[in-house]
Chain A
Amino acid sequence: MGSERWQQLKDVVGAVLEQERQDWPTCLVEKCGHDVDLFLQASSLLATSTTVGDFIEKPAWRIFGRPSAVRQPEESGTITL
């Protein structure tokens, strides 16, 4: 895909995402005009929005485990001098 085409796709999807979901079809048709390829590419991307959920919303390192706020000493207990 050429850079101009890519930018068009970004513009269309960006514009549609700013609308209420019920207005997506109208906005999509309006933005794509008679460009069927653009319409199909944008529709395909927008269709994933129903299943994308919180994909990559959490930082990557969180999947490796929950970091402790501070490292605890090896052994804990009270020692009175």
Chain B
Amino acid sequence: MKVAFIMEAMSQIPPKITDLLTAWQKGDSDALPEIARLVCDDLRRMARRFLAREPVKDILQTTVLVDEFFVTLLGRRTVSFKNGRHFFGFAGQTMRRFLIDHARRRLRQKHGVGEVPVALGPEHEEILATLPNEDLLAVNEALEKLEKIDPRLAEIVTLRFFLGMTIAETAAALEISPATVKREWEFARLWLYQELQRCGEPSPDPEDPACGD
């Protein structure tokens, strides 16, 4: 019997979200994309089930991984959702806060403020040097402005950009037509892009936006 076989089989089992979140909270940057991928994949599966017109109640009760993500991150034990749209809105906002929080941490580390950076190997340093944390924060600032003007557009951007949902999945989650999502998504992309251009280079300090209202 070969242990390597067992180890390989075990490595196919995704790590628990709580373990990954704990690692992330301790400064393991590598945990973040994996957490996001696992949770987003799960949410996208749920959206596809919405597309197949499965009952909302059945879908929301069967996703342990997503539930674990919310409970660990937000400390919420009971969350009740009115409908699918409410749920996906909550999920999108949670993932958005999670990623933005991470980007801010990274930026603080880059500027030598806040937590002590974890020891990184050369390949990680190379990745860190190319990460556009400021860009993500700038997009988030522009999205906050868009939210005030057109909440539905901002919702579409949150699902598409922060959860990685397709046009069809977003349409299913928001209970609107794919054609509407496509049209609104294109408009939102142009508007956000123009807003970023108008504001110029974003400020490295997220508390001090370079471009006010």
Q: Which residues of chain A have a CB within 8 Å of any CB of chain B?
A: 1, 6, 10, 13-14, 17-18, 44-46, 48-49, 51-52, 55-68, 70-73, 76-81
Nearest 8 A-B pairs (CB), nearest first? A59-B164, A61-B36, A67-B33, A78-B4, A79-B3, A67-B37, A14-B183, A56-B161
Interface of A is mostly: loop
A13 CA to B182 CA in the complex, in Å?
13
A79 CA to B36 CA in the complex, in Å?
34
Question: C-beta contact mask, B176-202 vs A, less than 8 Å → 1, else 0?
Answer: 000000011011011111100100000
Whether the pair A44, B33 counts as a contact (CB closer than 8 A) is no
Given A48-B193, A64-B29, decide whether A73 and B7 contact each other with a Cβ distance below 8 A: yes
Whether the pair B161, A13 counts as a contact (CB closer than 8 A) is no
Q: Which residues of chain B have a CB within 8 Å of any CB of chain A?
A: 1-4, 7, 10-15, 29-30, 32-34, 36-37, 40, 95-96, 99, 102, 127, 131-132, 135-136, 139, 149-150, 157, 160-164, 183-184, 186-187, 189-194, 197
Whether the pair A76, B163 counts as a contact (CB closer than 8 A) is no
Residue from A1, A45, A64 in contact with B149 in the complex, judged by beta carbons closer than 8 Å: A1
Give the residues in chain A near B37, CB-CB below 8 Å: 61, 67
| Residue of A with least CB distance to B139 | A56
